[in-house]
Amino acid sequence: MAEEQPHAEGASPKHETLMEKLADKLHVGGGDSSSSSDSDNDERPRPSAPPAPAPAPAEVKPTFSDSAAAAAADAKAKVFRLFGREQPIHRVLGGGKLLYFAAADVFLWRNRNISAGVLGGATAIWILFELLGYHLLTFICHGLIFSLGVLFLWSNASSFINKSPPRIPEVIIPEDVVVNIALSTRYEINRAFVNLRQIALGRDLKKFLMVIAGFWLLSVLGSCCNFLTLVYIVFVVLHTVPVLYEKYEDQIDSYGEKGWVEAKKQYAVFDAKVLSKVPRGPAKDKKH
């Protein structure tokens, strides 16, 4: 028993040393795991901060020149225009339409050579038929005889005089042009018939008086000159009045506004004394 007690006492230090070694190993292993977890946490990408919102664009304040230009445009839009038009004179003459675009350019002298040539040709025709007494059918026949004779002789004589024969172009009238002209003419004629019907029904006395005055003025002009001269006068007016009006538009409109105001005053007096006492037709057609 005495011998066994020292042996037991000698075994306890060994057991303690073994337990200490295991504890140290566990401690070291735990430290490694914690350090590895810390290193893993360090290596993980951190979420980036949200981008800062872009600054709101600064409001552009209109300058004084822009305000002045806008005010001038508004004032110009409110200026009185003859016949209550709201479009430029070029568009009024048909500049926005395909068929009348060339006519509007000619009347407003957009191309001086073409406008001068058209007006010169009209003047030559008027002098030829009105002053010289030439007849239309005779003029057409003589022109065709002369043209065909010259071209025929040139074509046959080109082989003898060692010159190339005349190059006569092939003239073909496009179908769409003829159809568009026919449709436009039909539309204008139908609109004229509708207006004449409205006037004949007695619904608009003002328009009736304007149409009667226009027909009377044409009858006076017709008694002073023949039809060809009247057409030539209208042609010259179309080549002069629109371009002059476009050039002096503001001045003419100012005088026109004064005249329009005075005419409205006189018309109001005339309407109160005369027109209001004239019986008028029904406002609408009776539907059966």
Q: What's the pLDDT score for residue 124?
A: 93
pTM: 0.55
Burial 41-57 (b: 16+ CB within 10 A, else e): eeeeeeeeeeeeeeeee
Terminal CA-CA length for the chain = 146
The residue type of 177 is V
pLDDT tens for 76-100 read: 555 666 655 667 777 777 665 545 5
The residue among 108, 102, 114, 70 whose CA lies nearest residue 88 is 108
> Residue with structure tokens 């004394």?
273
Q: Are 228 and 129 in contact (CB under 8 A)?
A: yes
pLDDT digits (tens, 9 = 90+) for 147-202: 999 999 988 888 787 778 888 888 898 999 899 989 999 999 999 999 889 888 87
Task: Give the CA radius of gyration of the chain.
Answer: 50
Query: What distance in Å separates the CA atoms of residue 124 and residue 139, rounded to the nearest whole number?
Result: 13
List the chain residues with pLDDT less than 50.
Answer: 1-15, 28-45, 47, 49, 56-58, 75, 98, 286-288
The pairs formed by 42-49 with CB atoms below 8 angstroms and a separation of 24 or more are none
pLDDT of residue 186: 95
What local confidence, expressed as pLDDT, does residue 5 receive? 45
Taking alpha carbons only, the member of 105, 104, 130, 109 closest to residue 230 is 130
CA pseudo-torsion sign 219, 221, 224, 228: negative
pLDDT number for residue 26: 53
Place of tokens 């506004």: 257
Residue 90 in tokens? 């070029």
